[in-house]
Structure 1
Amino acid sequence: MPRLLLWGAILFVVLTAIASLFVGPRAITPATTLTALLDFDAGNGAHLLVRDQRLPRVFLALCVGAALGAAGGVMQTLTRNPLADPGLLGISAGATLAIVCLIAATGQINIGASLWAGIFGAGVGGATVFLLGGMTKTHDPVRLVLAGAALSIVLMTLTRVITVNAEAHVFDQFRHWAVGSLQGRGWDVLWPSIWLTLIGGLAAVALARPLDALALGQDFGQSLGADPRRVWFAAAAVIVVLCGTATAAAGPISFVGLAAPHLARHITGPSHRALLLLSMLIGAALVSVADLAGRLIDPAAQIDVGIMSALIGGPIFVALARRLKMSGL
């Protein structure tokens, strides 16, 4: 990967994050923002807004985007499907069902509690899919995808049954989360998300060489020293951690995990080390830009990041798909 391109991507992400601190229902000048960061005054409303709302929101956008980008890159190699999305393994559906059960049981949505409930649901969903579709001698990716699709249908059906029969306010709170939003996320959600994204991202990069070998085919990869069963298990665990964290923290966000690896692969080629690192950068940039665009278009209402990511990522992916041959990895 050219160093100039890498530093350019990093600079773009940093500038987008900085701009996000200024924009919102209440405009805050760069000078006030800088003062809030360097010389915080608890009695200043603008300082509280920057520190307690906008700063964690900016970092969470970066975490969510990076997690989805890395999960998408691993997912597309694991399934040998260039159209694979991290939600394909039933992870998003598992997280959604767990959070709906939490809302229905408590009658309200607690962002901090929903994070852990979502991660638990994502883990159960991903583990179930792997047990149903991945525990075979041949490690057929088609079997894994079919198991994920089938489980997702079952879990989403259960989710609809719960929401339809729940009280109106439960459905309203779930609907707000299901769109995909970063609003109201504070430090209690950010810190676990940072650590889980860091662990998952490092684990994904550590799998780069085995994934390179596995991408050549299971027989050839095994001759190079990569144990397909261990690689599949480790890769599935990485996807569960990354996608589960992103979904639990911000709700389902589409196209980022699909488009980011495609854009990265077009630049870096098939090497997974460079591919995953750039996928994380591109994913972070896409979510940050989507969140910033939603606040710029309507500062008062703040269009949810899930809607904006689909509006931005969809056309990017369509344009890329028209230029590139949709071949296997």
Structure 2
Amino acid sequence: MSVEAPDKPGTGVGGLPAPAGRGSSAGPWRGLGLLVAAAALLLLSLAGIWVGTRDIPFTATWSLLWHPDGSNAAVVIHDYRIPRTALGLLVGVALGLSGALMQALTRNPLADPGLLGVSLGASTGVVVGIAFLGVGTVLGYVWFAFLGAALASVAVHLLGSAGRRLVTPDRLVVAGAAVTAVLYAFNSAVLLLHPRAFDEFRFWTVGSLAGRKYDVVYVILPFVVVGALIALALARPLNALAMGDQVGRALGVHVGRTRLFGAVAVMLLCGAATAAAGPIGFVGLAVPHIARFLVGPDQRWVLAYSALLAPILLIGADVLGRVLGSPGEVQVGIVTAFLGGPLFLALCRRRKLVML
């Protein structure tokens, strides 16, 4: 269970001591940490523009970045690498914030859009759109991904709360696994029966930033911005709800409205990210835990750090995939799975999963 954000360094809800060693004494250093993370993200973004299957020296990359001359190298940088890096930034922000939001809303440290079936629900929406309605544009993918994510979220919640008044974290995880299994089977059946849909879907399902251009960035940008603004606006209400609904109500939080807007933000963020880059796992699971380790349980800081650390992880994984797969590349979804899998196993092996 999580606790409310401290109003002063070293204190928690109602003056209770904040957990030691988890950012309670970080105080002013948390703001400096954001600046360091922003600088690291900038450097990785430059690496994303520089590193690729075509070897372009860094000095030439830097010059062409500001003064394109129409050469093939300039086309590669401006038409492929810059939009790819920009998309990695947007998708990373979306996955980091949606994972942090979902963990806070459910008070479940294992919650993320992939684990609870939201990402695969978005994938199912895309599969249906391609196979049955002939959808072939990114904007079309986005709308069907939103619908699939929404239906999957509702299904997981209904299964997790069946027979009980309260939803428990373990029941949500089991419900998410069940919904994921059903959706995976449905997707497999549809793709086997529709070869054209399979041809379009197979390049998208592994999770990749390759081949995306500015049109993809422009399509998902408004959804990610709106979802991010909603998520950041919910930081204080989420702090109040961290010790339970009754405490939140006593502190003046509208519980139902907070959860509704949180669900809308998760659907906007996860739907846009999945539609643009395919299902990319473990980013939404791993990053909020790293953020809480650095700055403690205050959702204001957790969300802010998640919005920076997630694109750092995603762009870094994309660059690493290009280096490891040279002269080709390893898709970013595969790299994040290798990086995030050990963290997931470590969380499962802990005797008690907490949100502190």
TM-score, normalised to structure 1, is 0.89
Aligned partner of 2:107 in structure 1 is 80
* Separation in structure 2 between the aligned mates of residue 83 and residue 263 of structure 1, nearest angstrom: 13
Q: Out of 48, 55, 59, which is 1:27 matched to?
A: 55
Structure 1 residues 141 and 21, CA gap change in structure 2 (3 angstroms):
same
Return the offset for 1:21: 0.8
* Separation in structure 2 between the aligned mates of residue 89 and residue 19 of structure 1, nearest angstrom: 33
Q: Out of 211, 219, 223, which is 2:238 matched to?
A: 211
Structure 1 residues 188 and 44, CA gap change in structure 2 (3 angstroms):
same
Return the offset for 1:229: 1.1
Structure 1 residues 323 and 124, CA gap change in structure 2 (3 angstroms):
closer
Aligned partner of 2:37 in structure 1 is 9
What is the root-mean-square deviation of aligned Cα atoms in Å?
Answer: 2.7
Aligned partner of 2:4 in structure 1 is none
Return the offset for 1:306: 0.3
CA contact (8 A) 1:66 1:283 kept: yes
Which runs of structure 2 are paired with 1:112-151 in the superposition (5 Å)? 112-127=139-154, 129=156, 140-142=167-169, 147-151=175-179
What percentage of residue pairs aligned between the two structures are identical? 43
CA contact (8 A) 1:79 1:145 kept: no
Return 5+ residue gaps in structure 1 as ranges: none
Which runs of structure 2 are paired with 1:277-316 in the superposition (5 Å)? 277-316=304-343
CA contact (8 A) 1:68 1:256 kept: yes
Return 5+ residue gaps in structure 2 as ranges: 1-28
- CA deviations on 1:232-271 (whole Å, 9 max, x unpaired) are 1111111111111111111111111000000000111111
* Separation in structure 2 between the aligned mates of residue 206 and residue 328 of structure 1, nearest angstrom: 20
Is 1:61 paired with 2:88?
A: yes
Is 1:229 paired with 2:229?
A: no
Return the offset for 1:33: 2.4
Return the offset for 1:59: 1.0
CA contact (8 A) 2:111 2:285 kept: yes
CA contact (8 A) 2:249 2:255 kept: yes
Is 1:183 paired with 2:210?
A: yes
TM-score, normalised to structure 2, is 0.83
- Aligned length, in residue pairs: 327
CA contact (8 A) 2:94 2:228 kept: yes
CA contact (8 A) 2:114 2:282 kept: no
CA contact (8 A) 1:123 1:241 kept: no
Is 1:193 paired with 2:237?
A: no
* Separation in structure 2 between the aligned mates of residue 327 and residue 206 of structure 1, nearest angstrom: 24
CA contact (8 A) 1:294 1:302 kept: yes
- CA deviations on 1:257-309 (whole Å, 9 max, x unpaired) are 00000000011111101000101111111101100000011232210000001
CA contact (8 A) 1:256 1:286 kept: yes
Return the offset for 1:136: 11
Return the offset for 1:35: 3.3
Structure 1 residues 113 and 45, CA gap change in structure 2 (3 angstroms):
farther
Aligned partner of 2:288 in structure 1 is 261
Is 1:154 paired with 2:177?
A: no
Structure 1 residues 11 and 158, CA gap change in structure 2 (3 angstroms):
same
* Separation in structure 2 between the aligned mates of residue 126 and residue 320 of structure 1, nearest angstrom: 23
Aligned partner of 1:164 in structure 2 is 192
Return the offset for 1:26: 0.6
Aligned partner of 1:48 in structure 2 is 75
Aligned partner of 2:19 in structure 1 is none
Aligned partner of 1:71 in structure 2 is 98
